[in-house]
């Protein structure tokens, strides 16, 4: 390896929301002639989508070295959760010691290790023992990162339970309502609270944090974190977003785009709640009714099971024959993985009803598509705040939310009438359309040569070459 070439190992954790940013970041590195990439994946994966995307990435970039870490299974009783993705997070943490031999035998030697935020405590000693610079690729918003950095202070103050203030006041950040905090992080005994309690104090041992965000979407949080306002001793934050999708040969199962091709520009609302959220059957019905009532053209991705491998019923069973009849001619409904970036970048798509997973928000921002935020769990309310504050979209805060713990125990079903009305508001609002388009312009400028993303990437690589 020449002294002018870097070799970066990427180590994502479980779930598409965590895998996709790593593959996209890897693809950005590979655009440069002076970067080599090793991808370390976990085996087995929870979802089919994870293994399919890894294969796509590896066939698109045959120069990537692929290493697999075989997970040691965990006993669910020791994790205090039955969510398969949560169990997998813990399995990866508990198997992280297997990383040492993989890293030390890498050839040519590695310049840096970039890994998931949920792996800091188990991985940092390994990286340190190998004198390997250690970076986290944070898969969520900078606003969420400010909360993660602040978490030890929040925990020390009793998780806000002794404080009657409904707002969490993090220095430099507009207050976060307690109701927006991921519910498991309000419970000291949850898996993720335990992870953060252990990991957050170790953030300062990192060489840096990489994040899929950019000025214009998250100006406040990026400036506050990099200005050292949130916590003392934070490592440098590299805003290397927006991440574009990586280019690959479209396989047979890619989206049938013919329908979109026939729709007028900006007329279609795309509806998807991400890779890990299955709405209840009642809520699915109301979403369908609402879309029909909105009078707008729509492209709706239905998901019935949290884990894709378990999807075993067809659209007629899940949506119902009667509703399918009403939908005919007004919209397209599918129950399969679609290439969401391809959909959002299609000229016919003007709006996005989204659960606000951070990758989805990033894609909407990149393509300037306005968002109707309907967060479902985890960090998604914090992301919905970013959507609203940046002007990328609207958020109806009163709409239901899973009670946390990764469970599916939603109690409130939002009615179709209300959904239809808000979809009309989303698609009809000219100022919303313009503001989202403006964010898309900023995102595109950030991605150009000399733009913030490209300059920040250069700075990151320059650091590795020193």
Rounded to whole angstroms, the Cα distance separating 154 from 186 reads 10
The least CB distance from residue 335 to ligand BUP, in Å, is 10
Torsion angle in degrees (nearest 10) through CA of 109, 198, 151, 137: 20
Nearer to ligand BUP, 342 or 425 (CB): 342
- Are 265 and 273 a contacting pair, CB within 8 Å? no
Nearer to ligand BUP, 13 or 38 (CB): 13
The least CB distance from residue 251 to ligand BUP, in Å, is 13
Nearer to ligand BUP, 376 or 452 (CB): 376
User: 67 - beta bridge partners?
Assistant: 40
DSSP state of 400: -
Nearer to ligand BUP, 207 or 376 (CB): 376
Q: For 250-398, where are the alpha helices, taking DSSP H only? A: 258-261, 281-294, 315-319, 321-327, 340-344, 358-367, 380-390
Nearer to ligand BUP, 134 or 340 (CB): 340
Rounded to whole angstroms, the Cα distance separating 85 from 87 reads 5
Q: Are strands 65-70 and 35-43 parallel, antiparallel or unpaired?
A: parallel
The least CB distance from residue 354 to ligand BUP, in Å, is 7
Q: Which residues bind ligand BUP (CB under 6 A)?
A: 15-17, 20, 272, 274-277, 301, 337-341, 357-360, 363, 378, 380
The least CB distance from residue 255 to ligand BUP, in Å, is 8
The least CB distance from residue 46 to ligand BUP, in Å, is 11
| Residues labelled as active-site residues | 18, 116
Nearer to ligand BUP, 286 or 379 (CB): 379
Rounded to whole angstroms, the Cα distance separating 392 from 7 reads 36
Q: For 66-201, where are the alpha helices, taking DSSP H only? A: 84-95, 99-104, 120-129, 142-156, 191-199
The dihedral through the CA atoms of 15, 20, 21, 23 has a sign that is: positive
Rounded to whole angstroms, the Cα distance separating 364 from 371 reads 7
The dihedral through the CA atoms of 318, 320, 323, 327 has a sign that is: positive
Residue 101 in 3-state DSSP? helix
The least CB distance from residue 339 to ligand BUP, in Å, is 5
Rounded to whole angstroms, the Cα distance separating 285 from 266 reads 25
Chain centroid to CA 198 = 22
The dihedral through the CA atoms of 50, 51, 53, 54 has a sign that is: positive
The least CB distance from residue 45 to ligand BUP, in Å, is 13
Nearer to ligand BUP, 244 or 290 (CB): 244
């Amino acid at each position: 390896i020449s002294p002018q070439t870097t070799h970066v190992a990427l180590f994502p954790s479980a779930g598409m929301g965590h895998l996709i940013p790593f593959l996209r970041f890897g693809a950005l590195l590979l655009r440069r002639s002076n970067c080599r990439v090793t991808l370390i994946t976990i085996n087995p994966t929870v979802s089919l989508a994870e293994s399919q995307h890894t294969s796509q990435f590896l066939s698109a970039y045959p120069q990537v070295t692929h290493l697999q870490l075989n997970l040691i299974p965990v006993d669910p009783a020791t994790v205090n959760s039955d969510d398969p993705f949560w169990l997998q997070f813990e399995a990866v943490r508990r198997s992280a010691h297997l990383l040492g031999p993989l890293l030390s035998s890498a050839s040519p030697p590695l310049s840096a290790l970039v890994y998931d935020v949920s792996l800091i405590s188990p991985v940092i000693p390994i990286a340190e023992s190998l004198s390997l610079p250690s970076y986290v690729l944070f898969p969520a918003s900078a606003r969420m990162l400010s909360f993660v950095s602040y978490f030890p202070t929040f925990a020390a103050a009793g998780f806000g339970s002794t404080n009657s203030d409904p707002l969490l006041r993090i220095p430099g950040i507009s207050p976060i309502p307690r109701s927006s905090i991921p519910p498991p992080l309000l419970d000291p005994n949850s898996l993720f609270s335990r992870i953060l309690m252990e990991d957050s104090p170790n953030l300062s041992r990192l060489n840096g944090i990489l994040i899929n965000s950019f000025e214009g979407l998250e100006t406040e949080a990026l400036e506050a974190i990099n200005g050292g306002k949130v916590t003392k001793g934070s490592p440098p934050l590299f805003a290397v977003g927006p991440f574009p999708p990586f280019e690959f040969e479209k396989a047979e199962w890619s989206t049938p785009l013919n329908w979109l091709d026939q729709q007028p520009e900006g007329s279609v609302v795309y509806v998807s709640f991400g890779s890990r959220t299955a709405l209840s059957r009642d809520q699915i019905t109301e979403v369908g009714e609402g879309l029909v009532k909105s009078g707008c053209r729509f492209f709706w991705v239905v998901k019935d099971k949290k884990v894709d491998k378990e999807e075993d019923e067809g659209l007629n069973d899940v949506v119902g024959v009667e509703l399918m009849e009403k939908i005919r001619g007004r919209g397209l409904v599918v129950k399969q993985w679609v290439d969401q970036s391809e959909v959002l970048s299609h000229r016919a798509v003007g709006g996005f009803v989204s659960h606000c997973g951070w990758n989805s928000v990033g894609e909407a921002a990149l393509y300037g598509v306005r968002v109707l935020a309907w967060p479902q769990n985890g960090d998604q309310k914090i992301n919905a705040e970013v959507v609203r504050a940046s002007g990328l979209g609207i958020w109806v805060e009163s709409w239901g939310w899973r009670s946390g713990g990764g469970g599916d125990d939603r109690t409130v079903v939002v009615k179709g009438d209300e959904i239809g009305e808000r979809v009309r508001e989303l698609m009809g609002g000219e100022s919303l359309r313009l503001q989202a388009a403006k964010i898309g312009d900023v995102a595109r400028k950030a991605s150009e040569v000399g733009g913030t993303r490209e300059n920040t990437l250069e700075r990151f690589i320059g650091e590795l070459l020193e």
